[in-house]
Amino acid sequence: SWCPYCQKVWLTLEEKKIPYRVEKINMRCYGEKPASFQRLQPSGAIPVATIDGTTLRQSNDILFALEDLFPEHKSMMPPDSVSAKAQEFLRLERQIFSAWMYWLTGGGSQSKKSFLETLQVVEKALAEVDGGPFFMGKDITIVDVQFVPFLERMAASLLFYKGFKMRVAPGEKTDYPNINAWFD
């Protein structure tokens, strides 16, 4: 799915090994949504999940519901002992997202500088993780789930539109070895 919010939900369902059924709905840019979907989600936004008769209409609400409703499956939550660090990383995800969008959508040299500085903060954060390669260590958590769709889109869009290469082939020299290890 190219929708980053759907991707977060899909990744969580796969990682937790929760059975699910997908109903494909057009993103707004591809046309009208079916009336049946509009009744379920009046705004037309995706993703939407119906779990045990309850409809959830925001990706993060769905992620937290999956944690609460399926405790017998792998937890995606970081341990309580590192919850402050997890919150710091979640704020960093929003910072890198904003810096990326600003540079991608027309910002000048200052926006590029801001993006590169923030990307270095992400690189450093991953370098400092004990037991990586993920943000909270050796296991993927909800923190990584928040980063995945946007870092993937950053790597693709910035290479295409700006000629900026942040993801490289294994063994290729890069200023972002920890980000690349996280991708791999």
Question: CA 17 to CA 111: how far, in whole Å?
Answer: 40
Q: What's the whole-number mean pLDDT along residues 82-101? A: 95
Nearest to 135 by CA among 73, 97, 87, 75: 87
| Chain-centre distance for alpha carbon 100 | 14
b (16+ CB within 10 A) / e for 36-55: ebeebbeeeebbbbeeeeee
Q: What's the whole-number mean pLDDT along residues 18-40? A: 87
pTM of the model: 0.89
- Asked whether residue 1 carries a pLDDT value surpassing 70, the answer given is no
- What pLDDT, on the 0 to 100 scale, is given for residue 22? 92
- What pLDDT, on the 0 to 100 scale, is given for residue 70? 96
Question: CA 67 to CA 166: how far, in whole Å?
Answer: 32
DSSP alpha helix (H) spans, 17-141 = 35-40, 59-69, 83-104, 109-127
Q: How confident is the model at residue 123 (pLDDT cuts 50, 70, 90)?
A: very high
Question: CA 108 to CA 127: how far, in whole Å?
Answer: 29
